[in-house]
Amino acid sequence: MFEATIKQAEPKTVAVLPMHGSYEQIPEGYGRLYGWIAQHGMQPAGMPEAVYLTMPDPTGESEALWELWAPVAGDAEIAPDESGIGTRRVPATTVASTMHKGPYDTIEPTYDALAKWVTEQGYQMAGPPHEAYYSDPKEVPPEEYLTEISFPVAKV
């Protein structure tokens, strides 16, 4: 059963790792990102996210541009270092949001349903889609994964 809502995403500070290419890099990327956070004495403060700056169609996954985000406590902005990781302050944003339960490779219909719902509610997309991951793939089977999909939106 599909359920979606319009809500206000709170402002936050995120550690950011820019990525390019295959999404298979996600586990290694989060390892680097959370290692950087620990090395800088920061405290994680929320669920890990991915922000998809390009979508696989029509660019193809090999050309995809995306970012891994890890919310951290505090509001310090740190310029990216030689590893490419830094922090940024993300302002409050109006988003359309829904939860997807199941393997990541079954998420596309949920994206499609949310995009349709956004239009039906009189909104339009106002930024790249976000995924927040509420399940650790090392601890739960794929059919139990919980992923929140959010689209920044604006009223038409």
* Torsion sign over Cα 90, 126, 120, 135: negative
Residue 61 is predicted with a pLDDT of 81
pLDDT tens across 19-55, in order?
Answer: 999 999 999 999 999 999 999 999 999 999 999 999 7
CA distance 94 to 6: 7
Higher-confidence residue of 72 and 61: namely 72
Q: Which of 50, 48, 43 is nearest to 74 (CA)?
A: 43
CB of 105 closer than 8 Å to CB of 25: no
Summarize pLDDT for 107-146 with one digit per residue, the tens: 999 999 999 999 999 999 999 999 999 999 999 999 999 9
The DSSP secondary-structure symbol of 39 reads: H
Helices (H), the chain: 26-39, 56-59, 108-120
pLDDT digits (tens, 9 = 90+) for 84-96: 999 999 999 999 9
Burial of 143 (0-12, 13-18, 19+ CB in 10 A): exposed
As a CATH number, domain 5-155 is 3.20.80.10
Does 59 have pLDDT greater than 70? no
Instruction: Report the Cα 110 to chain-centroid distance in Å.
Output: 15
Domain ranges of the chain: 5-155
As given in the structure block, the two tokens for residue 30 are: 């989060």
